[in-house]
């Protein structure tokens, strides 16, 4: 590829992509980096030349260019390739390994940097990620990985190593073979193959600039065996200073079926300890810098890297590591191994790094387009797109409290359980009796974990002797399914479980006139409170669950998701005379807060027990066994330290999360808050610490508190509909 | 790709043995999505599944589109990390462009089944 590389094209025209430094033509050094077609830090020696290519040299000093120029670029495609073997490097050793694998009938994928295929990392899996001219490849080898990346040539660290006209021995041979005239060539170390050069012996001292062109080498100075400096004039210096294996990929893939072949397995040559000059051209680290950090205690290779940033630049240590190893070795210990190898070995654009990655999609209910058509402000809540409001929160609230309203609750977790062991399983899962729940009845339930903490809540409804419908919170549905399935399997229960969260839509019809709306929809005898029944609602087959989260009479209509839009629109049409309008979650938050209903995840903490939540009524300790029972019994013997309480305050609602003070003492924080139109004041839920003493009411919880500098008081019985008569109407 | 259209299936959850013995409608596409769960195109009689506790429900929460084999494979190679089945016909399910998708491979064409809540995102990611 060197024949057609961008670098050789530039050199033929006497142009340099960068300021200077020893060119390797092998992708190892940072000396041919340039901004190519708008992308900075491109290795021009590994980039094919094409007509019209734009090359902008990097500044020789000062601020480096940003990695990518501004402007829209097409996404970088990613391709997944499953194969038996990946061979990285297609030199003689790599070709041999690939042929061998093919002969054994294996599906082989080869990567070769000079063909624009750069392996940039090996991840657990194993997964080999490669940047190619056609996008990113994600390679999944079933059998193994062969690394045949060869060895890189050691670069010189002496004064003047940033001049132009310095090339490695291999690069000298390659440039000559492409017809580039190198002029008078002085060879230091191993001479280049097939290049007319004068080989000089001795210790490399420095490179001197050419008179009249201070950026180009004019001579190389060597020290002979007698200690005398010898100056050799030249146009080009070829440097054969030894080899160091390109083994970063080999070292980063521990634990996978990986092997190296060829020069990658060479023991690294160790250059003489550098005495002066730039060690790391990427970060501008000098030998003096190494001495400085070593003197301050940074005496291990990785520490030197962190302290100086040597090895963190575009070449990832290819230039500096041999010299730092040599430096540290000369300080009295064995030369250390190389840096810890981690992906990525080559710089990537953000587009390349992001290729093939997708953000988690947020699901939409079947009514999503209806909400948007109604002008709803949509938010991601509970893992779904949901309407926060439809433009008039007060009107939405009022429709629920004074008339009838509908709300899309399709996001609730919905599950059917059937089987001879269904009762036994649910008895074990829930802290309330299940066997006594009659078919057609529903019950509110908490879900506890083994430590007695509340992890979700919902409803359990009995459909027949052996079949139940469970509901969970929107955000907790995924966990709940795993939880139910795990326990069913652990207990070896003979049950069938069907998660219908996405299959079923659910619309809540709520408000004092909800029954009137159902009557208009053809349901004359809706189920009583905490009952459920199957019915046809406005022509749609539905199961009606009578419950309440708003505090009003409520009927949750579960139906096939493809009927959602019809049912929604018919309810709005039929209810036009009743003033029916939909309400969003903002109104729902106010409604449930007036009732003191908690939202698991918002009002609960990771260690919320039923007692801390004031939900002991939802746990029946006379049940002999259920998940979390032992923990609840044990923690009930410990003094209560805090409790979720209802609070009220005059004036505007404080922010959720606001600190609650009892006098000068921290007392807790607000978990939910909102203005209550029904009460004309703010209502809140919040955690209060038990603080026996002044101002402490029952259970040692403060009665009067301060939030945002304003007084608030704890209420033991909610002010709105304390008997819950409206829900049961 | 062609527009994703809602498809009618019957979803069956029953014991694995009952699923093995069930009588499915002749010629219907039957996808075994779990050991104890099947998605069958069209309508399935409860009596077809020899398990008195089986849950058999109509399932309308999937949209599907048939695409020609070449375009389907081309898309999948760029949109999913998992290994595509080599045999035909074959069924697979997993993340495709980050969306949970079920895929039915035939010799000449491929069916993509996408849960309705993700249809908009999937269509965007396909284009």
Model pTM?
0.86
Residue where a domain terminates, one of A241, A276, A305:
A241
Domain total in chain A: 3
Residue where a domain terminates, one of A225, A241, A257:
A241
Same structural domain for residues A382 and A451? yes
Same structural domain for residues A587 and A643? no
* ipTM given for this complex: 0.97
Same structural domain for residues A651 and A575? no
Q: Using alpha carbons, select from A561, A553, A516, A598 the residue that is nearest to residue A365.
A: A561
Q: Is A367 on the interface with B (CB under 8 A)?
A: no
Same structural domain for residues A585 and A711? no
Q: Rounded to whole angstroms, how far apart are CA atoms A596 and B25? A: 52
- Average pLDDT over chain A, rounded to an integer: 94
Same structural domain for residues A580 and A712? no
Partner residues linked to A448 by β-bridges: A454
Please give the order of strands across the beta sheet that includes A496-499: A442-448, A454-464, A467-472, A413-418, A496-499
Q: What range does the domain containing A561 cover?
A: 368-591
- Whether residue A275 is predicted with pLDDT greater than 60 in this model: the reply is yes
- Whether residue A1 is predicted with pLDDT greater than 60 in this model: the reply is no
Spatial neighbors of A530 by CB under 8 A, at least 6 apart, are A441, A442, A443, A546, A547
User: In this predicted model, which residue has the larger pLDDT, A706 or A37?
Assistant: A706
Same structural domain for residues A392 and A491? yes
Question: What pLDDT score does A68 carry?
Answer: 62
Question: What pLDDT score does A114 carry?
Answer: 86
pLDDT tens, A78-122? 999 999 999 999 999 999 999 999 999 999 999 999 888 999 999
Same structural domain for residues A534 and A461? yes
- Give the HSE-up count for residue A78: Cα atoms under 13 Å, Cβ half-sphere: 19
Angle (CA) A711 A712 A716, round 5° = 155
pLDDT tens, A212-250? 999 999 999 999 999 999 999 999 999 999 999 999 999
Q: Rounded to whole angstroms, how far apart are CA atoms B91 and B97? A: 18
Same structural domain for residues A442 and A571? yes
- Give the HSE-up count for residue A102: Cα atoms under 13 Å, Cβ half-sphere: 10
For residues A727 and A529, the answer to whether their CB atoms sit within 8 Å is: yes
Q: Is B127 on the interface with A (CB under 8 A)?
A: no
For residues A107 and A166, the answer to whether their CB atoms sit within 8 Å is: no
Question: What pLDDT score does A521 carry?
Answer: 98
Tell me which chain B residues have a C-beta less than 8 angstroms from the C-beta of A500. 57
Same structural domain for residues A450 and A540? yes
Q: Which of B4, B5, B11, B13 to mutate to test the interface with A (most CBs of A within 10 A)?
A: B13
Same structural domain for residues A548 and A485? yes
Q: Rounded to whole angstroms, how far apart are CA atoms A261 and B31? A: 46
Tell me which chain B residues have a C-beta less than 8 angstroms from the C-beta of A495. 53
Q: Which of A503, A505, A541, A542 to mutate to test the interface with B (most CBs of B within 10 A)?
A: A503
* Per-position b or e across A647-671, b if 16+ CB within 10 A of its CB: bbbeeebbebebebbbeeeebbebb
Q: Name the DSSP letter for residue A522.
A: T
Instruction: Tell how many helices (H) and how many strands (E) occur in chain A.
Output: 17, 39
Question: Residue A537: in which H helix or E strand, if any?
Answer: strand A532-537
Q: Is residue A265 part of a domain?
A: no
CATH of the domain at A709: 2.40.30.110
Same structural domain for residues A555 and A657? no
Q: Is B13 on the interface with A (CB under 8 A)?
A: yes
Q: Using alpha carbons, select from A11, A16, A17, A27 the residue that is nearest to residue A116.
A: A27
CATH of the domain at A518: 3.30.1360.120
- Give the HSE-up count for residue A119: Cα atoms under 13 Å, Cβ half-sphere: 29
Minimal Cα–Cα distance from A124 to chain B, Å? Answer: 14
Q: Is B61 on the interface with A (CB under 8 A)?
A: yes
CA of A404: how far to CAs of A322, A516, A647, A660, A721, in Å?
Answer: 78, 8, 28, 36, 18
Q: Using alpha carbons, select from B2, B7, B76, B87 the residue that is nearest to residue B39.
A: B7
Rounded mean pLDDT, B20-36: 94
What DSSP letter does each residue of A242-300 carry, written as one string? -EEE--HHHHH-TTSSEEE-GGGGSPPP-PPPP-SSEEETTTTEEHHHHHHHHHTT--S
Minimal Cβ distance to A561: which of B84, B99, B116: B116
Residue where a domain terminates, one of A193, A225, A241:
A241
Same structural domain for residues A498 and A387? yes
For residues A78 and A131, the answer to whether their CB atoms sit within 8 Å is: no
Question: What pLDDT score does A2 carry?
Answer: 47
């Amino acid at each position: 590829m060197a024949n057609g590389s961008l670098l050789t094209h530039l050199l033929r025209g006497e142009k340099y992509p960068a300021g200077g430094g020893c060119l390797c033509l092998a992708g190892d050094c940072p000396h041919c980096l340039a901004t190519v077609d708008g992308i900075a830090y491109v290795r021009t020696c590994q980039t094919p030349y094409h007509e019209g290519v734009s090359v902008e040299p990097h500044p020789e000093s000062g601020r480096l260019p940003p990695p990518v120029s501004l402007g829209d670029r097409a996404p970088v495609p990613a391709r997944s390739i499953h194969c038996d073997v990946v061979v990285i490097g297609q030199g003689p050793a790599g070709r041999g390994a690939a042929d061998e694998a093919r002969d054994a009938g294996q599906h082989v994928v080869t990567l070769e940097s000079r063909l624009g295929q750069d392996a940039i990392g090996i991840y657990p899996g194993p997964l080999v990620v490669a940047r190619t001219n056609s996008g990113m490849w994600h390679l999944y080898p079933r059998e193994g990985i062969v690394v045949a990346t060869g060895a890189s040539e050691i670069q010189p660290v002496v004064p003047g190593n940033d001049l132009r006209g310095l090339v490695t021995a291999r690069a000298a041979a390659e440039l000559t073979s492409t017809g580039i005239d190198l002029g008078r060539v002085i060879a230091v170390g191993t001479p280049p193959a097939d290049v007319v050069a004068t080989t000089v012996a001795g210790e490399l001292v420095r490179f001197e600039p050419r008179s009249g062109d201070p950026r180009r080498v004019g001579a190389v100075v060597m020290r002979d065996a007698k200690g005398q400096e010898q100056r050799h004039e030249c146009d080009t210096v070829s440097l054969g200073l030894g080899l160091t294996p390109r083994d970063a990929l080999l070292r980063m893939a521990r634990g996978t079926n990986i092997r190296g072949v060829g020069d990658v397995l060479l023991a690294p040559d160790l250059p003489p300890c550098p005495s002066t000059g730039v060690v790391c051209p990427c970060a501008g680290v000098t030998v003096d810098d190494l001495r400085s950090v070593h003197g301050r205690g940074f005496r291990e290779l990785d520490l030197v890297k962190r302290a100086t940033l040597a090895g963190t630049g575009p070449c990832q240590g290819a230039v500096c590591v041999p010299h730092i190893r040599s430096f540290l070795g000369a300080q009295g210990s064995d030369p250390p191994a190389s840096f810890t190898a981690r992906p990525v070995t080559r710089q990537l654009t953000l587009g390349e790094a992001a290729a093939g990655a997708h953000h988690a999609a947020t699901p939409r209910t079947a009514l999503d387009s209806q909400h948007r058509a109604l002008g709803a402000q949509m938010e991601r809540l509970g893992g779904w797109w949901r309407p926060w409001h439809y433009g008039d929160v007060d009107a939405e609230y009022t429709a629920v409290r004074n008339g009838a309203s509908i709300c899309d609750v399709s996001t609730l977790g919905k599950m059917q359980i059937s089987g001879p062991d269904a009762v036994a399983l649910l008895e074990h899962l829930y802290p309330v009796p299940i066997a006594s729940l009659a078919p057609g009845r529903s019950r509110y339930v908490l879900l506890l974990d083994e430590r007695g903490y509340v992890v979700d809540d919902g409803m359990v409804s009995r459909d027949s002797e052996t079949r139940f419908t469970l509901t969970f919170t929107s955000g907790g549905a995924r966990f709940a399914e795993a939880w139910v399935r795990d326990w069913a399997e652990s207990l070896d229960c003979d049950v069938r479980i069907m998660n219908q969260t996405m299959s079923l839509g659910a619309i809540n019809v709520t408000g004092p006139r909800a029954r009137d709306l159902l009557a208009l929809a053809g349901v004359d005898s809706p189920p009583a409170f905490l009952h459920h029944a199957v019915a046809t609602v406005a022509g749609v087959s539905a199961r009606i669950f009578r419950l309440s989260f708003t505090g009003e009479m409520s009927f949750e209509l579960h139906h096939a998701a493809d009927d959602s839009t019809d049912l929604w629109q018919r309810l709005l049409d039929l209810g036009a005379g009743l003033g029916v309008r939909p309400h969003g979650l903002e109104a729902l938050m106010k409604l449930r807060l007036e009732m003191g209903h908690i939202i698991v995840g918002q009002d609960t903490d990771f260690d919320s027990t039923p007692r801390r939540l004031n939900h002991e009524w939802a746990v029946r300790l006379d049940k002999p066994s259920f998940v979390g029972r032992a923990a609840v019994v044990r923690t009930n013997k410990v003094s209560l330290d805090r409790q979720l309480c209802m609070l009220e305050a005059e004036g505007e609602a404080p922010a959720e999360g606001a600190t609650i003070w009892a006098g000068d003492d921290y007392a807790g924080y607000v978990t939910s808050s909102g203005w209550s139109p029904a009460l004309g004041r703010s209502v809140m839920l919040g955690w209060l610490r038990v603080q026996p003493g002044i101002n402490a009411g029952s259970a040692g919880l403060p009665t009067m508190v301060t939030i945002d500098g304003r007084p608030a008081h704890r209420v033991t019985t909610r002010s709105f509909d304390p008997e819950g008569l409206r829900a049961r109407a | 790709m062609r527009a994703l259209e809602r498809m009618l299936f019957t979803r069956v959850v029953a014991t694995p043995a009952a699923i093995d013995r069930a009588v499915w409608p002749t010629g219907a596409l039957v996808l075994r999505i779990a050991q104890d769960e099947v998605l069958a195109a069209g309508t399935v009689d409860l009596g077809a599944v020899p398990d008195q506790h089986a849950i058999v429900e109509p399932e309308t929460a999937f949209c599907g589109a048939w695409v020609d084999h070449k375009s389907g494979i081309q898309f999948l190679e760029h949109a999913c990390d998992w290994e595509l089945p080599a045999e035909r016909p074959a069924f697979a399910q997993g993340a495709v462009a980050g969306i949970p998708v079920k895929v039915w491979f035939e010799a000449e064409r491929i069916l993509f089944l996408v849960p309705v809540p993700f249809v908009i995102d999937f269509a965007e990611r396909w284009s």
